[in-house]
Structure 1
Amino acid sequence: MVATTQPDTFRVLVVDDAKGIHEDITKILRPPAARNAELEELEEAVLGAARRELTRARFRIDSAFRGEEGIARVQRALDEGDPYALAFVDVLMPPGIDGIETLAHIFRLDPHVHAVVCTAHTDHTWDEIAQRLGQTDRMIVLRKPFDSIEVLQVAHTLAYKWALARQTEQQLAELERKVLERTQHLEAANAQLRREVQSREKAESDLRHLAMHDVLTGMPNRILFRERLERAILRARRHQKPFAVMLLDLDNFKDVNDVHGHAAGDELLRETARRLLGCIRACDTVARLGGDEFVLLLEDLTHPRDAVLVAERVLESCSAAMDVGGHRVRTPPSIGVATYPTDGADADTLLKSADLAMYEAKRAGRATYRLYSDNMRLSTVQKLELRERLERALAHDEFRLWFQPLIDLGTGNIVGMEALLRWEDPVLGLIPPMHFVPAAETFGLMMPIGHWVLRAACRQLAAWDAAGLPRLSMAVNVSPHQLRDDAFPDQVQRALCESGLDPTRLELEVTESAAMEDIERAAARLARLSNLGVRVVIDDFGSGYSSLVRLKELPIDALKIDRMFVKHIVEDRRDAAIVTAIVAMAHSLGLQVVAEGVETEDQLELLRKMPWQHPFRPACQRAQGFLFGRPSPAPIVAGLVQERANGSPVSARSNAPRDRNTPSTAPEAASHG
C-alpha cells in the first residue's frame, strides 16, 4: 500500500573529493541487470513477506567534489523544485570546507534532506558529529570502507523515510485545506444567517450612531459628550472622586486647510483623533466638538494633577509631524484643563473653564497646556474685550495710516513713502501697532486689516498724484498671514485697479523670516506679485537666518538693511563691515539697497561715502529714518514732500507729532505685520 503512493526514483547527491567513492556509490545504487540473490535473501530476512510488495528504488545520482559545490547543487535543486532526498557527504575534503560544515549549510537550505556522513577516521564519533550538527533523525554515520549492501540498505531506508515524511506533510496540508474549506463554508452560512438576523438591528444602531457621533472621525460628538459629562458629574458626586475636562484645538490648522485643501484638513483631523485615542484609557472619552476642536473626559482620577500627565502625552503625540496629502505638517495643540469640582460643579462651568485655560495656552505662545485658575477669567475677559474693540475698529474705520519718507541719497529728494498702521481709539487715542498687532494676529484679524492697509495706501498715493505732488512710490508691509494666502496677489491687483496706480510704484515689504518660512511657496507668491509689475522688498534684512543661496531664488527688487546694523555703523567697524558686505552682495544680485533707521548726520555721511564701483551714485541708494522725518499723518508728509521739492535741506527733522507712549528711539517702520 505504501509502495504505491511513494516515488520509486530519488535524487541522491554524493559530495566527496575522491572520484572512486563517486564511482562506487553509483555502482551500488544503480539497479543491476538481474536481481542479486544475496540482496533478495537479506530483504526477505529483514522485511519478510512484505518484501515481495516492494520494488527496488531508483536513484538519480549527482556528484560534487567540494563542499561548496555540493551546497550550490542543493540550492539549485530547490530552485528547480526537484530537491534531493539523500546526500552522501565525506567528512574530510581539503582544501575547502569539511563535510560537517557542508552538511550544516545543506540542512539550513533544505531541512527535509537526509544525510549519510561518510568517514574513514575513527576520531569522528557520533557524539562529535551530533554536537556540531545537532541531534537529528535524518542523519546516519557510515564508516569507510563500507559494504555495498550496507550502502544500499541505508539509501533505501533514508530515501523511503524522506518520501514518507513528504507524503505525510502533503496529506496533512491537504487535510488542513479541506478542513479550512469546510470551515469557511460553514462560517459563510453562519455569517449569512447572522447578517439576516442583525440587518434590522444594524440599521437602528447606525441611526443612533449618526445622531451621537462625528461623521468624519467616528468619535462621540457634542451631544454624546454632553451626556457622558453629565453622567460623570453624577458618579463623581456619589463617589467623591475628581475628574478632568481637557479642551484643545490645533494651532495652524487653518493654514493646512488653506494651503493643502480640505481633503488634507480632513486627513489631519482623522490622524489627530487616532493619536488622541492612543493617549487615554478605555474608561475615558475623546469627542470632536467641531472644526479642529476636541475635548477629552478623564474620569476616576486619583488626584486632579493626574490630568497633567495626560496633557503632556497629548501635547507630545499631537505635536509630532504628520504626513498629510503628501506633505509633512505640524499642528501642535493648545490645551486647557479644568477639574471637577474645583473649577466647576456643572457641565457648562467646566467647559467654560477649560475653554478659558485653552485660550490662556494660546496667549502663552501656543503648543502648550494650561490648568485653569480663577485669574484667567479676568485676563480672558480683557482679551475678549480687546478683540471686540479691534473688530469694531475695523468696522467703524478707526484705523489710520501714517507715512514716513524714503530719501534718494544721490539727489536728496523724497522719492517714496512707507505706510504705517495706527489705531485711533475713541477713548485711548492714537495707539501704535506694537500694542495691538500681536493681538490682531492671534485673533486672526491681520488678513482683513492688512487688506484695508493695502487699499488705503494705494488710494492715498492716487490722492497725492491728483494734488500735484512729485511722483512717489508707496511701500506697504505684508504680514506672514498675507504671504501665505493664495488670494493675496488678487487683492493687490484689485487695489491697484481701484486706485488706478501704476503697479511699479507699489512696493511690498516682506520680512526676511516670513520669506524663508516656506521659501518655495513664498517664491511662487512673490513671482505672481512681480508679474503684476509690483516691486518686492526684503525688509529687516540681516535680522533673520536666510541662506544667500536660497535668497537668489526669490523674485525680489531690493534689500532693506535692518536698523540694528545702521544704528552703530559709525562707532562699530563690524556693523560697518556687515553693511558694506550686504551692499556688495545686493549689487552683485542686481538689487537696490535701502538703509532704515538713519538718525544722525554721521550715519548718513558714512552711507553716502560707502565705496562702490560707480563714481557718481551712492552704494546705498535710499535711506529712511528720523533724520529725514518721523512717521506722520498724510497732510504733514505732503507738506514735507513739497518743502523738499522746494529745496529744503535733506536732514531737516520733521515736527510731526509722536505716537502716544512712543520714545524717540522707537522703530520708525513699525509695520502692521
Structure 2
Amino acid sequence: MKFPGSIPSISDLQAIINVMPLPVFVKNRAHRIVLLNDAACEFFGHSREVMLRFSDYDLFPTEEVEVFHAADDKVFESGAISENEEQVTDAAGRSRTVITRKRRVRLNTHDFLVAIISDVTAYREAEAHNYHLAFHDPLTDLPNRALLSERIDHALLRRSRTGERCTLLYVDLDRFKEVNDTHGHQSGDLLIQSFASRIASIVRATDTVSRLGGDEFAVLLIDRGDPSDVDAVCQRILEAASKPFEVDGARVYIGASIGIAETVDEVTNVSVVKNLGTVERFS
C-alpha cells in the first residue's frame, strides 16, 4: 500500500506513530484497525498481529463495540472531530475510562479514522473517591449530613409531585458515653461501626441511614404508606441497639431513643434533625 507525498509506505508511518506516547490507532470504514502504535498495543494488552487480525467484536465486549462503532460512524459521515469518554476493557479484563479523540482522514480516495486515546481511569477513580469522602462518614462509611440533606431535598421534591410519604428518624444511642469512658474511644468506635452495620441491615435499599456524628444517627424512610411500617422499623432499631456488643473483650449493653418526624415537610434542613426529639419519641 503506497501513500502519496513524503511518506512512501506503511512501515514509515508505523515508525512515526510509534514515537507517540499516547495510544494511536487507524481504522478503515469497515471498523477494522489497519494501523496502531506500540502504546496502543500496550494499552489494549494485545499484540499488533492480534489487533490487526481480529475484529472489535472479537476483542471487546459487545456493548462497548456498539458505542465505539456509533461514534466512528458519526465521524465517517460528518467528518467532524469527535471527543468521547468511553469504557474500554483490555485483554486482562480491566475496565478503563478513556477519552478518545477521532478524526476522519482521506487517503487515495479512501476514508480512514485516526484515533488518539487518553487514559483518565486514575483521574476518574480519584474523583469518585473524593466525592465519596465528601458525602460519607469516614468511620462507618454511611452517608453523612451533607448526603442526607441532599436526599431529604429529593424526597421533598418527590413528595410535592407524587404525594409519596416520607419519615425521618433521629436515633440517639443511650449509655454510649459510659462505654467510651470505661473501655476507651477505640472500643467506642468499634461499637459505632457495629451498630451502623446493624441499622443499615434493617432498612430497605430506597431508605437512607446516616451518621450525623458521635452517637447520633438519622434514618430517612421513603414511601412508608402505613404508619405501622414506621413503628416496625423503630422497634427493630431498638432491638438492634439492645443486643449486646463485644468490645475490648467485654460484653456491653446500650440502648437507643428515636425521635420521629411523621412528615418530612417539617424538616427542610438536616441541621434541625436534633429537634425531632421534640416531635415524637419512640423508646
Answer yes or no: same fold by TM over 0.5: yes
Q: 1:330 aligns with which of 253, 270, 278?
A: 253
Out of 234, 253, 277, the position equivalent to 1:355 is: 277
1:338-384 superposed Cα distances (whole Å, 9 cap, x missing partner): 1115x7263469735523257xx5xxxxxxx25xxxxxxxxxxxxxx
Please give the alpha-carbon distance, in whole angstroms, between the structure 2 residues aligned to 1:282 and 1:194: 28
CA contact under 8 A between 2:170 and 2:274: conserved in structure 1? no
* Residue equivalent to 2:146: 223
Equivalent of residue 129 in structure 2, options 203, 206, 211: 206
Q: Equivalent of 1:303, from 217, 226, 229?
A: 226
Deviation readout 1:466-491 (Å, 9 max, x if unpaired): xxxxxxxxxxxxxxxxxxxxxxxxxx
Structure 1 SS opposite 2:262: strand
CA separation of 1:337 and 1:300: change in aligned 2, threshold 3 A: same
Q: In 2, are the aligned partners of 1:242 and 1:304 still within 8 Å (CA)?
A: no
Q: 1:241 aligns with which of 146, 161, 164?
A: 164
**Equivalent residues of 2:148, 2:270 under 8 A apart:** no
- Residue 188 of structure 2 is matched in structure 1 by 265
Q: For 1:189, what is the secondary structure of its paired residue?
A: coil
- 2:92 aligned with 1:189: yes
Q: TM-score, normalised by structure 2?
A: 0.56
Deviation at 1:322, TM superposition (A): 1.1
Render the CA deviation track for 1:607-652: whole Å, top value 9, x for unaligned: xxxxxxxxxxxxxxxxxxxxxxxxxxxxxxxxxxxxxxxxxxxxxx
Residues 332 and 352 of structure 1: CA distance in aligned 2, closer, same or farther (over 3 Å): closer
In the other structure, the counterpart of 2:176 is 253
**Aligned counterpart, 2:204:** 281
Instruction: Determine the C-alpha separation between the residues in 2 that align with 1:289 and 1:278.
Output: 18
CA distance in 2, matches of 1:329, 1:209: 32
Classify 1:221/1:348 alpha carbon distance in 2 versus 1 (closer, same or farther; 3 Å).
closer
Moved over 3 A (4+): 192-197, 345-350
Query: Quick one: structure 1 residues 194 and 317, their matched pair in 2 at CA, closer, same or farther if it must change by over 3 Å?
Result: same
The equivalent position to 1:313 in structure 2, one of 236, 245, 254, is 236
Q: Identity over aligned residues, as a percent?
A: 40
TM-superposed deviation, 1:230: 1.2
Structure 2 counterpart of 1:204, which letter?
A: E
Q: CA, structure 1 residues 352+237, in 2 after alignment: closer, same or farther (shift >3 Å)?
A: farther
Structure 1 residues 294-344: Cα deviation after superposition (integer angstroms, max 9, x where no partner): 000001111334211110111111211111121111121111111115x72
Taking structure 1 as reference, are residues 207 and 306 closer, same or farther at Cα in structure 2, changes over 3 Å only? same
Whole-angstrom CA distance in 2 between matches of 1:310 and 1:276: 10
Q: Which amino acid aligns with 2:148?
A: F
Aligned-residue CA RMSD (Å): 2.7
Following the alignment from structure 1 to structure 2, what is the Cα–Cα distance between the partners of residues 304 and 319?
23
Could you tell me which runs of 5 or more consecutive residues in structure 1 were left unpaired when the two chains were aligned.
1-185, 362-368, 371-673
Task: Select 2:266's aligned residue among 327, 336, 344.
Answer: 344
8 Å CA contact 2:171–2:257 kept in 1: the answer is yes
Structure 1's 357 and 255: CA in aligned 2 closer, same or farther, altered over 3 A?
A: farther
The 8 Å contact of residues 248 and 294 in structure 1, kept in 2 or not, is answered as yes
2:122 alignment partner, SS class? helix
1:190 deviates by 2.4
Shift of residue 272, structure 1, vs aligned partner: 0.7
CA 226–349 in structure 1, closer or farther in 2 if over 3 Å, else same: closer
CA-CA distance at 1:233 after TM superposition: 1.0
1:199/1:348 Cα in 2 relative to 1: closer, same or farther (>3 Å)? closer
What SS does the corresponding residue of 1:264 show, helix, strand or coil?
Answer: helix
Deviation at 1:191, TM superposition (A): 2.7
Distance 1:253 1:357 in 2: 23
CA distance in 2, matches of 1:356, 1:257: 27
Equivalences for residues 391-470 of structure 1 within 5 A: none
- Contact 2:90 2:96 survives alignment (8 Å): no
Note closer, same or farther for the CA distance 1:349–1:303 as it changes in structure 2 (3 Å cut).
farther
Query: How many residues of Structure 1 are paired with residues of Structure 2 in the alignment?
Result: 175
Tell me how far apart the structure 1 counterparts of residues 147 and 261 of structure 2 sit (CA, whole Å). Answer: 19
More helix by percentage = 1
Matched with 2:106 is none
Mind listing any 5+ residue stretches in structure 2 that lack a counterpart? 1-88, 99-118
Give the direction of change, closer, same or farther, for the CA distance of 1:193–1:234 in structure 2 (3 Å limit). closer
Alpha-carbon contact 1:335-1:357 (below 8 Å) kept = no
What is the Cα deviation at residue 187 of structure 1? 8.7
Equivalent-residue separation in structure 2 for 1:187 and 1:264 (angstroms): 44
Question: Counterparts of 1:374-393 in structure 2 under 5 Å?
Answer: none
For 1:190, the aligned partner's letter is G
* CA distance 1:192–1:238, shift in 2 (3 Å): closer
Bigger-Rg structure (1/2): 1
